[in-house]
Structures are given as C-alpha cells and as structure tokens.
Amino acid sequence: MPSNLVNIREWVTLHKGARVRCRELRSRRKVEIKQGVILETYPRLFTMFIESQNSTVSFRYSDLLTHEVEIELLSAPEVTI
C-alpha cells in the first residue's frame, strides 16, 4: 500500500471496480472483515459496495494511511477491448 495520501488516492482510483477484502479496526479489539467492490472515488473518500450487507459504505483515504482500514486486492477489474 502506498505511503502518502496522493499515492493512496491514485492506487484506489486505479483499482476502481476491483473486488477487495476490507479489514476495518472498529473499537477495542473489534475487527470487521468485509468483501466488496470499489465503486467510486472522490477527492476525500471512496465508496465500496459490501456484498454481505447489500449496502454501500464510504472510507476516507486517511483511514488507509493510518491503518484503521486495510484493503487487500482480490481481483483486478475486468477490462474488455
């Protein structure tokens, strides 16, 4: 994962549409692991569709920088030419 906000934003934008596993630190010793697809990217946040909850959630790029949220790439987006 990149180490500054500009690189993190570019990485997330590059993987828009990809299936990812999201590990989110919630509170004391509570970790949520979700799988979904990166839907949209915005200047300060990005959205993901979480399959198990059938809902959309948003995360800030700073969450990735501070490791409150970790993203693991499961597959690259399919590109058709």
Task: CATH number of the domain at 42, please.
Answer: 2.30.30.100
* Other Cβ atoms closer than 10 A to 68: 14
Identify whether the C-beta of residue 8 lies closer than 8 Å to the C-beta of residue 2: yes
Does residue 29 belong to any structural domain of this protein?
yes
pTM of the model: 0.79
Answer yes or no: is 71 within a domain: yes
Q: Tens of pLDDT along the chain (81 residues)?
A: 667 899 999 999 999 999 999 998 887 888 999 999 999 999 999 999 998 889 999 999 999 999 899 999 986 555 544
Counted domains in the chain: 1
Residue 21 lies in a domain: yes
The answer to whether residue 81 is domain-embedded is no
Task: Tell me which H or E stretch contains 65.
Answer: helix 61-65
Domain contains 80: no
- DSSP state, 32? E
